[in-house]
Structure 1
Amino acid sequence: MAETPVILLLNTDIPAAIVSRIRDVSPRVRVITAAQHRARPEWLAEAEVLLTSVIDGRVLEQARALRWVQTIGAGVDRVLTPELAAREDLVLTNASGIHAQPIAEHIFGLILMFGRNLHHAALRQHQGEWKSDDLREGLRMLSGSTLGVLGVGAIGERTGQIGAAFGMRVIGLKRNAAPVEGFERIYGNADLLTFLAESDYVVNTLPLTPATRGLIGRDELAAMKPSAILVNIGRGGTIDTDALVDALRSRRIAGAGLDVTDPEPLPRDHPLWRLENVLLTPHYSGAHPGYVERASEIFLDNLARYLDGRPLVNVVDKQAGY
């Protein structure tokens, strides 16, 4: 008797070569491409496996056969709807681990722009001005400064390693305050204000969960050094945007490098666009050559595991949110 086919729905456009590799995993797998799904939305009701970047909680009412959702990103706030979290029969996995190096490089790109006034120098270049007197003021050396990593997962660990190579003192904060190699000290959540007060650069890598939403507010910003730089590559909603704008306007903190914002995308009339002590990048810190291919390797491994009945990797704790 032939085995029951596993209907795998691609809810995002994937290169043909990768689609072919997915099909080659097993003859049991019937791949429904994003184009096929658009032509026949009813496939959702029959799918057992879903590869996606976003999900509407309402569609899960139609997807009663669904047993496993793989997201092509690491953050799951656009996928982990209340409806999905409530489904005990549904496993969620992500692509955590592939972003550590590109995001860490992006973080230090922002930090070095502030430290060497490179953003101001770039403006002078386009204005044809050879003038450096004021650019020499307020320069920073990373060596000897304290890098505070808020959220010490794969991205945070790699950021700490690079910071140490610059000669920075590296501290971190995470829910489990167990020591991490290369970090001088790891703080627990109860010590957030102390952690912030020690840091010359605060790098926020936190996912957006009920516990982290609005975690950095007025009191937390007030605890930071007036000379501190805040970098956020996690999720915009982990920081109170109004409080951040006030802190930047009043120079309560020296500056912010933001790859993520709340709201996102940032409205054209938002004050963050116009603040001189802000660097904005439009949520692309994790992008890098071969991104889809690397994310697909995780999915291909997991697909083989799923078909064999073995444990999946990168399983998301749906209650914790990451």
Structure 2
Amino acid sequence: MTSSQTIVAIAVPLEAEHVERIRAVDPSVTVLYEPDLLPPERFPADHSGDPDFQRTPEQEDRYWEMLNKAEVLYGFPNESPSGLARIAGSNPHLQWIHAMAAGAGGAVKASGLDSHTLQKFQVTTSAGVHALPLAEFTALGILNGFKRSAELAQDQAAKAWPELRVPTRLVNGSRLVVAGLGEIGLETARIARALGMKVSGTKRSVAPIDGIDEVADNSGLAGLVASADAVVNTLPGTPYTEKLFNREIFSAMKPGTVFINVGRGTVVDEDALLEALNNGQVSYACLDVFAVEPLPQESPLWNHPKVMVSPHTSALSAAENRLIADRFCSNLRTYLDGGELPHLVDTLHFY
């Protein structure tokens, strides 16, 4: 239960209109918000803000003094694992932090906090906020692969009009496998079914899902991809998903499979993916995430003719700040009513 007055501090850049909506959740809520202490956004939902922004020593003291008064934080301090580690040690009132990312478990793990400290407060994620833009990006990847957009772009650049006409593939009636049938995966499945695809996928707890032909756990992934025309990864980066897409999984795919990754780059063995691209097992890869980000300049993925590189921006939309604030306001109502917060970071598996 909370005290009669609940203090919320805004730790990351946020428009004043959204701050006012948080204030309006309940009269017992006090929101601490000092925009001059927060870096300006360079683009919509730029939660880290301008990297050149620097607080004066006096502003730095004010920033941490503000955060240390709060019971609830909107965002990690300085949007960083080190900021999370610092506030966990300095704020005795802290009960709950809402993270901007859907996959905030990685940042919680990177903070280096021990399990005892992590039991003192809750961390919720913005999971689900990004489901629709990621699902639409996945549809883009599927259509690009089936409709040969990479080859068309190359021909256009060369002003080449091939004498032999090459057919495209029908998405309707094809099979999609979604690794990770969470909110992103289910939204992806919804759009894929609207295109006429048959969808199967994986989930940690195997149970029938309406509209999904077959559900397996990750140990059954090789069996699922064997009949797939397209495969999408939405899984977070955890020790259990590290390089899940390895040589064995890519070898199990049908030649010509289209592969999309909107989960985390660490889930894919990039050397194995390159082999699969070069031997035709994968005909096209649409990648928004990578094992190392930014993608190193020397990576062959940059120039591969069958690869689209997206700089981890496919979840970004102009509506993101509003949607995250909506999610936070809903969670804050639940918190004030003593309910169970959704989308808690698992501090054992860090997702």
Using the size of structure 1 for normalisation, the TM-score is 0.90
SS across alignment from 2:93? coil
Matched, 1:190 2:191: no
Task: Quote the residue 1:166 is aligned against.
Answer: 195
CA distance in 1, matches of 2:249, 2:179: 12
Q: Which amino acid aligns with 1:75?
A: G
Contact 2:71/2:96 (CA < 8 Å) preserved in 1? yes
Q: Does 1:42 align with 2:60?
A: no
Question: Is 1:119 matched up with 2:150?
Answer: yes
Contact 2:229/2:258, CA 8 A, preserved across alignment:
yes
Pick closer, same or farther for the CA change 1:186–1:311 going to 2, 3 Å. Answer: same
1:14 alignment counterpart = 14
Contact residue 105 and residue 346 of structure 2 kept, 8 A:
no
Q: Is the alpha carbon distance of 1:167 and 1:28 closer, same or farther for their aligned partners in structure 2, counting shifts above 3 Å?
A: closer
Rounded to whole Å, the distance in 2 between the matches of 1:33 and 1:307 is 23
Helix, strand or coil at the partner of 1:319: coil
How far off is 1:107 after superposition? 0.5
CA distance in 1 between counterparts of 2:281 and 2:151 reads 21
The one-letter code of the counterpart of 1:15 is E
SS of residue matched to 1:141: coil
CA displacement, residues 170-229 of structure 1 (integer Å, 9 cap, x when unaligned): 111111110111111111222121112121111101011121122111222221122111
Selected match of 1:83 from 108, 113, 124: 113
For 1:288 and 1:71, the matched residues in 2 are separated by 17
Match of 2:90 among 45, 51, 62: 62
Task: Note the C-alpha offset of 1:133.
Answer: 4.4
- RMSD between aligned residues: 2.3
User: Counterpart of 1:271 in 2: which secondary structure?
Assistant: coil
Alignment match, 1:213: 242
Q: Which segment is superposed worse, 140-149 or 80-89?
A: 80-89
Counterpart CA distance in 1 for 2:254 and 2:155 is 29
Name the structure 2 match of 1:96.
127
Structure with the bigger RCO (C-alpha within 8 Å, sep 6+) is 2
Counterparts of 1:154 and 1:296, CA distance in 2: 18
Instruction: Quote the Cα distance in structure 1 between the aligned partners of 2:138 and 2:199.
Output: 14
Amino acid at match of 1:196: V
2:227 is aligned with 1:202:
no
Distance 1:58 1:10 in 2: 17
- 1:1-322 aligned at under 5 Å gives the runs 5-25=5-25, 26-33=27-34, 35-36=36-37, 38=55, 39=59, 40-43=62-65, 44-52=67-75, 53-56=79-82, 57-59=84-86, 60-81=88-109, 82-83=112-113, 86=116, 87-125=118-156, 129=159, 131-133=161-163, 136-137=165-166, 139-322=168-351
Structure 1: which 4+ aligned runs deviate by more than 6 Å?
none
Of stretches 117-126 and 226-235 in structure 1, the one that deviates more from structure 2 is 117-126
Given that 1:51 and 1:69 are in contact with CA atoms closer than 8 Å, whether structure 2 keeps it comes out as yes
What is the SS of the residue equivalent to 2:185? helix
Aligned residue type for 1:142: V
Find the aligned partners of 1:27 and 1:100 in 2 and give their Cα distance: 32
Q: What is the TM-score of this pair, normalised by structure 2?
A: 0.83
Between the two proteins, the alignment pairs up a number of residues equal to 318
Q: Is the 8 A contact 1:249 1:275 kept in 2?
A: no
Moved more, 40-49 or 101-110: 40-49
Deviation at 1:168, TM superposition (A): 1.7
- Structure 1: give runs of 5+ residues left out of the alignment: none
Percent identity at matched positions?
A: 33
Structure 1 stretch displaced more, 192-201 or 41-50: 41-50
Query: How far apart are 1:246 and its partner, in Å?
Result: 2.7
Amino acid at match of 1:121: L
Deviation at 1:99, TM superposition (A): 2.1
Gaps of 5+ in 2: 39-54
